[in-house]
């Protein structure tokens, strides 16, 4: 009896110029003629080694049309101050595209705009919370019963001034004398701001904890600065003595008679 016909496993669609691997399920001979692969399997009779028969399997790919590159996604401008209008454009990657359907998508895959026309455009006013938002442009091409898709994405950068909240830079702090504390302040902003604190015109370190002494008590000015400007916050530090609270109260002074 002849074995099962050999089976070739390979992509049904290939882009012009692309390479793909083909696999077979038997020890067969594979020949290539142009775009056609032929797999031939043969069996031999038992005992006299005579050829009993052969089976062949053909595989012929369907090529994608020339001119179906990755779509183009443009954010204009790509980095904007908050409150500025941004245009998001999704278009085919060639001047005369085939019958491609485009989709402009958000980071969660939601469709913001779609249609066969190129380009698709979306206008929005950039908000601070839009910083880092990803947009996607998907091009789909139907070939027979198959659909081929290509995608490109881009991220929006929203620029905004520094902000220092009360939790990131508390305005009132009480430190115990003899402990180690850092005058830490954090700020948000895009570009990422630099925070500098000082007192009486002298800059003080804000990263590393230092020994708390009476001299560290006072009011500090902390500035957060990036390319868009500076925001300031006052920080008041009180230094207390822990062991001072445990001392017994002093007795009242006795009045001396004249």
Closest CA to 184 of 235, 122, 118: 235
pLDDT per residue as tens digits for the range 157-169: 999 999 999 999 9
User: Widest CA span of the chain, in angstroms?
Assistant: 144
Q: How far apart are CA 35 and CA 11, in angstroms?
A: 12
Residue 48: predicted pLDDT? 42
Residue 226: predicted pLDDT? 96
φ, ψ for residue 189 (rounded to 5)? 160, 165
Look at strands 194-199 and 218-226 and give their pairing. antiparallel
Residue 214: predicted pLDDT? 94
List the domains of the chain with CATH numbers.
72-159 (2.60.40.10), 164-243 (2.60.40.10)
Closest CA to 68 of 144, 138, 153, 145: 138
**Tens-digit pLDDT string for the chain (258 aa):** 445 665 656 666 666 556 666 665 555 565 655 544 455 555 444 444 333 444 555 545 555 555 578 899 999 999 999 999 999 999 988 766 667 889 999 988 899 999 887 789 999 999 999 999 999 999 988 887 888 889 999 999 999 999 999 999 999 999 999 999 999 999 999 999 999 999 998 999 888 899 999 999 999 999 999 999 999 999 999 999 876 655 566 666 666 665
pTM over 0.85: no
Residue 53: predicted pLDDT? 46
Count of C-beta atoms within a 10 Å radius of residue 169: 22
């Amino acid at each position: 009896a002849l074995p099962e016909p050999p089976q070739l496993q390979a992509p049904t669609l290939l882009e012009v110029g692309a390479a793909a691997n083909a696999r077979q399920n038997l020890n067969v001979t594979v020949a290539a003629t142009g775009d056609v692969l032929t797999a031939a399997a043969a069996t031999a009779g038992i005992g006299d080694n005579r050829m009993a028969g052969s089976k062949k399997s053909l595989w012929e790919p369907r090529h994608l049309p020339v001119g179906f590159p990755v779509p183009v996604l443009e954010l204009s401008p790509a980095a904007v101050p908050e409150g500025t209008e941004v245009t998001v454009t999704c278009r085919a990657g060639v001047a005369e595209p085939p019958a491609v359907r485009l989709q402009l998508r958000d980071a969660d895959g939601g469709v913001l705009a779609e249609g066969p026309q190129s380009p698709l455009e979306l206008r929005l006013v950039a908000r601070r919370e839009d910083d880092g938002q990803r947009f996607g442009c998907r091009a789909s091409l139907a070939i027979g019963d198959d659909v081929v898709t290509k995608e490109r994405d881009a991220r929006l950068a929203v620029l905004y001034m520094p902000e220092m909240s009360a939790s990131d830079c508390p305005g009132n702090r009480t430190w115990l004398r003899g402990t180690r504390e850092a005058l830490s302040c954090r700020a948000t902003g895009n570009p990422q701001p630099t925070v500098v604190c000082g007192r009486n015109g002298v800059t003080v370190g804000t990263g590393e904890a230092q020994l708390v002494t009476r001299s560290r008590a006072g009011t500090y000015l902390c500035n957060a600065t990036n390319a868009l400007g500076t925001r300031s916050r006052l920080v008041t530090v009180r230094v207390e003595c822990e062991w001072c609270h445990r001392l017994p109260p002093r007795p009242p002074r006795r009045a001396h008679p004249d």
